[in-house]
Amino acid sequence: MSTATHNLSDYTPGEVPSGSGRRFALIISEWNKEITEILAEGAYDTLVSFGVDPGNIFTQWVPGSFELPLGAQFILEHKPVDAVILLGCIIQGETRHFDFICQGVTQGTMEVGLKFSKPVVFGILTTLTLAQAKDRAGGKHGNKGVEAAVTALKMVSLKEKSQKHKK
């Protein structure tokens, strides 16, 4: 989460595990595409910078943020990936639609991750204005896509470590 003292793109490189040999999916919302393209670029570049082969990054666009969890489920059912990163941007409007979409996407993201026992990372902006979204998509608060990619790398590593301890 970005705050006055924390930028979404800040991380300690030595604390981020290598992504070498790992496979990731980026599921990206077409809605608010001017924002989601920047989020996707941040996530992609971050994965590559930590050793993920570009050929091991699968990208799929879906119509809107509400479709992101189902897009993740489709990918997890048919593609051998270690983690899925969901990238979207939901901006508050004049109706309660914002609340329903945010709740549905949040719940769906959690359910898909638990169903497949794989990291499904919530890289979705939920802002009051377009200006706030821009601030969090490469603006003064960093890039949520970068944060989501770092989270995915850490969660894949955590899963692998936990499986080693189980044996």
**Catalytic positions, please?**
97
Q: Are strands 137-139 and 142-143 parallel, antiparallel or unpaired?
A: antiparallel
Residue 127: name the closest of 97, 148, 98, 95 by CA: 98
Q: How far apart are CA 31 and CA 128, in angstroms?
A: 15
Give every strand in the sheet of 57-62, ordered side by side: 57-62, 24-29, 83-91, 120-127
- What residues contact residue 20 under an 8 Å CB cut-off, 6+ apart? 51, 52, 53
Q: How far apart are CA 67 and CA 44, in angstroms?
A: 20
